[in-house]
């Protein structure tokens, strides 16, 4: 009986917790690693983000910096309202809180290795209109 009550409480908590926004069609993120930093309250997250041809990720920001290395294809980023084209083998730095977006402008798949240095216990991505 105690186990059933605990499971019910856990299920209710999961339903009440804010659910992350679904990923836009044609994009995928695979988290590779996450570590606490030596600076209290901060962590690093590294992920591989892939984009199908023509797919995009809408305007958003992070609670810290994003360091991007494009591993495949060509991605057009909008950073603080300005377009930046980044090709495989090139890098981009997005400062803390800067609004940005990404779109695969190549004919084939594209991907980036994204390293985030962010405040812990905050949503990684905040979408912006």
Per-residue confidence (pLDDT) for residue 35, from 0 to 100: 98
Backbone angles phi and psi of 63, in degrees to 5: -85, 45
pLDDT class for 10, splitting at 50, 70, 90?
very low
pLDDT at 18 over 60: no
pTM of the entire predicted model: 0.81
Distance CA 73, CA 54 (A): 11
Cα–Cα distance list, 57 to 32, 79, 89, 94, 125 (Å): 19, 12, 20, 15, 11
DSSP letter at 54? T
Spell out the residues 6+ positions from residue 5 whose beta carbon is closer than 8 angstroms to its own: none
Place of tokens 């603080």: 80
Per-residue confidence (pLDDT) for residue 3, from 0 to 100: 46
Task: Encode pLDDT of 85-118 as tens digits.
Answer: 999 999 999 999 999 999 999 999 999 999 999 9
């Amino acid at each position: 009986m105690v186990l059933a009550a605990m499971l019910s409480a856990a299920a209710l908590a999961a339903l009440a917790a804010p659910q992350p926004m679904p990923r836009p069609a044609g994009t995928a993120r695979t988290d590779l690693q996450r570590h606490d930093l030596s600076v209290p309250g901060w962590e690093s997250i590294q992920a591989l983000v892939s984009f199908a041809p023509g797919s995009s990720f809408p305007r958003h920001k992070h609670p810290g910096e994003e360091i991007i290395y494009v591993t495949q294809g060509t991605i057009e980023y909008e950073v603080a309202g300005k377009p930046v084209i980044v090709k495989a083998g090139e890098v981009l730095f997005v400062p803390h809180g800067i609004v940005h977006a990404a779109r695969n402008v190549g004919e084939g798949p594209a991907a980036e290795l994204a390293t985030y240095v962010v405040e812990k216990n905050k949503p990684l991505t905040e979408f912006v209109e």
